[in-house]
Structures are given as structure tokens and as C-alpha cells.
Amino acid sequence: MKAKFLVPLFLFLGLAGFLAFGLTLNPREVPSPLIDKPAPAFTLARVDDPAQQFSLADMRGKVWLLNVWASWCVACRQEHPVLVDLARRNLVPVVGLNYKEVRGDGQLDARGMALDAETGLAVERARRWLGEHGNPYVLSVLDIDGRVGIDFGVYGVPETFLIDGNGKIRYKHIGPITPENLQQVILPKVEEVRRAG
């Protein structure tokens, strides 16, 4: 048995080891260290009127959802009808965090773009998208450089955070919300948080 003929076997066994370990991980869930901690404070410009600011403190006393989205995010399109439906039913206010609208889009090259120009483009793109797909948000804010996203530990879009009246994050949903997720997990959580608060 020559050593070189064992190479494929060892490569495969290494791969199998990774796969076995992979089975213990859930690729869709990243435990968030922020659960039951105060949500990172932010103050950002609004999509509907960039001259106005919105900050976390504005929602104090309310139980609400912070939904991270962007017009380049394909999965957001998938969850969007669910959010529009949620808004129609008026069950819980949803604030949109528009995440890296311009520089997050792999199709655009935003390097060297002035911040003003980038903000203008982001506002235009975000509004057009909301116009086309419906606007389920009480309001949306612009996270142009993604710094607030980083504070919230956003690693993929869409993500949704449930925030209570004291500004604490109580639940985090990763990936697009399906009607089942909403009915079976998110809305019961909202109820639970409301009752507790």
C-alpha cells in the first residue's frame, strides 16, 4: 500500500468529519448574545424624509419589531407579503432598518461614492422598492454604512428583532418570515412580551 493512494481516503475522512460536525450545527440559527439585553441605541435618518431622525428611544413603551431589509435582498421579497399582511392586520408595529442599501448590493460599485450621493441613491431605491412591493413599515430608517446592523449582530438579511417596551431585545428571527413562523412563533412571542411588560 503506497502512501499516495491513501490520500483520497484521508481527504474524504477529513471531509466526513466536517460533515458530521456540520450536522450538529444549524446553519439558519446563530445564537444572539443580545437576547434579553438592551438593544443597541441608534439614531438614523428616515427613508420617507431623510431630514428627520428616528431613534430607538422613540419606541419606548411599545412592543415592536425591527425588520432588517434591503432592496437587493432576494429573500426579503419572499417575506415581504407576510409583513404587508401583518401590517394590514395591525397586530404589532414594524420598523424597517434598511441595511446597506447601496454598498450591500453586489451589482453596484459604491467605492468612492460620496456619502451624500449614496444616501440619495439609497433613499430613491428604497422608496421605489416600497412603492412596488407595498410598505408594511411604520417607518424605515437608513443604515447606509451598516454600522447599526453590526451593533445588532446582523449577518444576513432579512432578520427581525422583537423589542419590548424597555428597549430590550426579546427575540431574534433569522431569514425570511413565513406565515407559519409568524403565527406559531413571532405573534405568540409578541403576546407573551406584552403580557409580561
Partner 1 sequence: MIPELGHFSLVLAFVLSLVQAVVPLVGASRNRSALMAVGRPAAQGQFFFVAFSFACLTWAFITSDFSVEYVALHSNTATPLYYRITGVWGSHEGSLLLWALVLAVWTVAVTVFSRHLPDVFLARVLGVLGCISVGFLAFLLVTSNPFERLLPGAPEGRDLNPLLQDPGMIIHPPLLYMGYVGFSVAFAFAIAALLSGRMDAAWARWSRPWTTVAWVFLTAGITVGSGWAYYELGWGGWWFWDPVENASFMPWLLGTALIHSLAVTEKRGAFRSWTVLLAIGAFSLSLLGTFLVRSGVITSVHAFATDPKRGLFILFLLVVVIGVSLLLYAWRAPRLSGGGSFAFVSRETALLGNNVLLSVASASVLLGTLYPLFLDALGMGKISVGPPYFEAVFVPLMTPVVVLMMFGPFLRWKGDSLGPALRRVAPAFVASIAVGVGAAFAIGHATPRTMLGLALAAWVVLASAQQLVARLGERPGAASAARLRGIPSAWWGMWLAHLGVGIFIIGVTLVGSLNQSLDVKMREGQRAELAGYSFVFRGVQDAAGPNYDASRATLDVSRGGVAIATLHPEKRLYRAQGMPMTEAAIDIGPFRDVYVSLGEQLPDASWIVSLYYKPFISWIWLGCALMALGGIFAASDRRYRKLAERSAPAAAARQAA
Any contact of residue 150 with partner 1 (CB under 8 A)?
no
Closest CA relative to residue 67, chosen from 51, 83, 56 = 83
Q: Which of 49, 58, 109, 155 binds partner 1 (CB under 8 A)?
A: 155
Task: Tell which positions 66-85 bind partner 1, by CB under 8 A.
Answer: 74, 81
Nearer CB in complex with partner 1: 7/196: 7
Q: Which of 40, 50, 93, 134 binds partner 1 (CB under 8 A)?
A: 134
As measured in angstroms, the least distance from the Cβ of 5 to partner 1 is 4
Which cell is 154 given? Answer: 446582523
Q: What is the DSSP string of 11-74?
A: HHHHHHHHHHHHHTS-TT----TTTTSBPPP-EEEBSS-TTSEEEGGGGTT--EEEEEE-TT-H
Among 30, 108, 139, 187, binds partner 1 (CB under 8 A): 30
Q: How far is the CB of 7 from partner 1 (least distance, A)?
A: 8
115 binds partner 1 (CB under 8 A): no
Helix (H, G, I), strand (E, B) or coil at 196: helix
Alpha-carbon distances of 144 from 3, 97, 129, rounded to whole Å: 55, 10, 16
Cβ–Cβ under 8 Å, residues 28 and 174: yes
Residue 58 touching partner 1 (CB under 8 A): no
28 contributes a contact to partner 1 by CB under 8 A: yes
- For the CB of residue 164, give the shortest distance to partner 1 in the complex, in Å: 26
Q: Which span (16-24, 45-53, 136-144, 165-173) binds partner 1, by CB under 8 A?
A: 16-24
* Integer CA distances (angstroms), 59 to 16, 75, 126, in order: 49, 27, 22
Q: Which of 2, 89, 111, 195 binds partner 1 (CB under 8 A)?
A: 2
DSSP state letter for 134? -
H or E element in which residue 143 lies: strand 139-143
- Shortest CB 80 distance to partner 1, Å: 8
Hey, how many other C-beta atoms are within 10 angstroms of the C-beta on 155? 11
Interface residues with partner 1 (CB under 8 A) are 1-2, 5-6, 8-9, 12-13, 15-16, 18-25, 27-28, 30, 74, 81, 106, 131-134, 155-156, 179
